Structure 1
């Protein structure tokens, strides 16, 4: 029983890795637009201090 669960778990993990894909040109263009929008936001509404700047970087890294 344990062996069967281990094999099933490994199979699911391998299937998850196989589902990964590379970014296409549309996704890259969208990311470029997002980055440009963030730069405009920082220009029009600059962070007020190093803590806020760091908070924005963390939010952007996490996708918030």
Structure 2
């Protein structure tokens, strides 16, 4: 029961946080979440890799995906999507 309450509380907090976010911020958060999910899947595959080289390659790919997601999210937050200029200037 405590876990159910905790999950409900977390869902409520996430929904409240989303209410105060702009569409641009929500899109940036989605970009980061998607990149994180892909990176987690790559790291899981690395844990199951048959060789050290494959494991290292998958770990590097996960790091690259995570960094690209962070960069794209930051770009979304700081650049005007309509003009493609930083801060719309």
TM bin (shorter chain): 0.3 to 0.5
Q: TM-score, normalised by structure 2?
A: 0.31
Structure with greater proportional strand content: 2
RCO higher in structure (CA 8 A, sep ≥6):
2
Q: TM-score, normalised by structure 1?
A: 0.40
